[in-house]
Amino acid sequence: MKSQYSYHEISDLDKYAKEVRRSIFNFKTSSGFGHLASCLSPVDILVSLYFDTESAYDLVHDRVIFSKGHGSPAIYPILARTGLFPESELEKYCTEEGILRLHADYSIPGCLFVGGSLGNGIGFAAGLALVRKHQHFYVILGDAELQEGSVWESLLFINHHKIHNITLIIDRNGFGITGSTEDSLRIEPLREKFIAFGLDTFEVDGHDFKDLRKVFSVKPHFPRVVIANTIKGKGVSYMEGKFEFHTIIPKDKELISQGLKELS
């Protein structure tokens, strides 16, 4: 089943993605909690999955699992739009009276797992996919998360059991908390690594809805990984590609105002 708010025109998807980013920017800067830049990079991926009319994502059966838990608040405006909780919850993000947390967990409608520890969501999703063969699981992994050894254990498992109802999406924004992934602990050549692990491997521009549509419009028959090249802090010029914003949320009124303006 598709969302009643699905869009076919690329310009509409672009417009809605900007709306989602603005919402994230709003609740993150209001609260001051979390990883704003890491939430902005996977937004187009999520919008493509949930709201592109061509997407094979089934709103009733399929699930997104954030292995990269610190980026999971990116999905809150989308889950609210699908009606799983009121949009007013976004304003209550990380407050005592709200249900939305810094890392998504199973208490939040539409979220299955617990967030905050890297390298684990992929294995959890593999187990779930093995049992629930009628569902498809889309796992969002951070690129720096690939430095966790448990990820590679899970890749062996997924390939060994040919778990085809799972799509791994790498949010390849290039940065971890301390800088470039290639400076801290090199993960390239990624494509070759995934191919060597026996996965159908695709590389796309994670901000190009045409590119994303090509991979998300079909459900695979083999384990699949999508390397989505993204920009950390996408949409806010002073944050884009700046690893320093991994944990820093703008507090300065002018910076906030500029960010909102750029996302309008």
Binding site for other proteins (CB under 8 A): 105-106, 112-114, 116-117, 119-132, 149-150, 153-154, 156-157, 160
Quote the Cα angle for 104-108-109, to 5°: 130
Residue 100 Cβ, how far from other proteins at the closest point, in Å?
A: 18
- Peptide linkage before 189 cis (omega within 30 of 0): yes
- DSSP-derived secondary structure for 133-181: TTS-EEEEEETGGGGSHHHHHHHHHHHHTT--SEEEEEEE-SEETTEEH
Nearer to other proteins, 119 or 259 (CB): 119
Amino acid at 177: I
Nearer to other proteins, 156 or 248 (CB): 156
Residue 25 Cβ, how far from other proteins at the closest point, in Å?
A: 29
Residue 242 Cβ, how far from other proteins at the closest point, in Å?
A: 30
Roughly what angle, to the nearest 10 degrees, separates helices 209-216 and 43-51?
Answer: 50
Name the token pair of 177.
Answer: 């908390």
Nearer to other proteins, 41 or 72 (CB): 72
Nearer to other proteins, 69 or 206 (CB): 69
Q: Provide the 10 A C-beta neighbour count for residue 149.
A: 9
Query: How far apart are the C-alpha atoms of 57 and 42, rounded to whole Å?
Result: 16
Residue 62 Cβ, how far from other proteins at the closest point, in Å?
A: 14
Residue 127 Cβ, how far from other proteins at the closest point, in Å?
A: 2
Nearer to other proteins, 154 or 181 (CB): 154
Name the token pair of 101.
Answer: 């947390």
Nearer to other proteins, 132 or 221 (CB): 132
Residue 172 Cβ, how far from other proteins at the closest point, in Å?
A: 22
Residue 107 Cβ, how far from other proteins at the closest point, in Å?
A: 10
CB 228 within 8 A of CB 172: yes
Nearest to 173 by CA among 25, 61, 249, 68: 68
Query: How far apart are the C-alpha atoms of 69 and 129, rounded to whole Å?
Result: 19
Nearer to other proteins, 112 or 187 (CB): 112
